[in-house]
C-alpha cells in the first residue's frame, strides 16, 4: 500500500456499528492505527504494549495515568507513551474517542 486515507466520521460510524471499544483501521509493517472509545465511568483494561504509541484525544475528558504520574486530558490532547510503560485512562467524565498510533515493535 503506497497510501490511503480515512474519514474520522466514517471510523466513528464503523466503531459504533461494531459495538466494540477498539477499531483497528490501519496495519502496515511499521505502523498500526485505531480508534479507541471509552464511555464515561468505563474501566480502561489496557496492559503495556510492545510498541511506542501516540494518542490523540479526538473527543472527551479523562485522566491519563502512566506509572505514578497523572494528567488531565481533553479534546486535542496528544500523548506519547514508550513501549512497555504501564498506562491507562481513568476518571472518564465525557465519552473518550482516541486515535491511537503504534510504531513497529522494537527489535
Tens-digit pLDDT profile for residues 6-36: 999 999 999 999 999 999 999 999 999 999 9
Range of the structural domain that residue 93 is part of = 8-103
Please state, as a whole number, how many other Cβ atoms lie within 10 Å of the Cβ of residue 92: 19
Q: What's the pLDDT tens digit per position in 43-94?
A: 999 999 999 999 999 999 999 999 899 999 999 999 999 999 999 999 999 9
Any domain includes 70: yes
Q: Please state the domain count of the chain.
A: 1
78, 13, 51, 71: CA torsion to nearest 10: 30
Residue 22 lies in a domain: yes
Count CA atoms closer than 13 A to 40's CA, side-chain side: 4
Percent of the chain whose predicted confidence (pLDDT) is above 90: 93
Q: Is residue 68 part of a domain?
A: yes
Cα distance from N-terminal residue to C-terminal residue, the chain: 23
Residue 70: CATH number of its domain: 2.60.120.10
Amino acid at each position: 500500500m503506497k497510501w490511503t486515507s480515512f474519514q474520522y466520521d466514517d471510523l466513528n460510524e464503523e466503531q459504533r456499528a461494531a459495538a466494540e471499544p477498539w477499531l483497528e483501521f490501519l496495519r502496515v509493517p511499521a505502523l498500526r492505527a485505531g480508534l479507541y472509545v471509552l464511555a464515561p465511568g468505563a474501566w480502561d483494561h489496557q496492559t503495556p504494549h510492545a510498541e511506542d504509541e501516540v494518542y490523540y484525544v479526538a473527543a472527551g475528558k479523562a485522566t491519563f495515568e502512566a506509572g505514578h504520574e497523572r494528567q488531565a486530558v481533553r479534546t486535542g490532547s496528544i500523548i506519547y507513551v514508550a513501549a512497555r510503560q504501564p498506562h491507562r485512562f481513568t476518571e472518564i467524565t465525557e465519552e473518550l474517542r482516541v486515535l491511537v498510533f503504534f510504531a513497529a515493535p522494537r527489535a
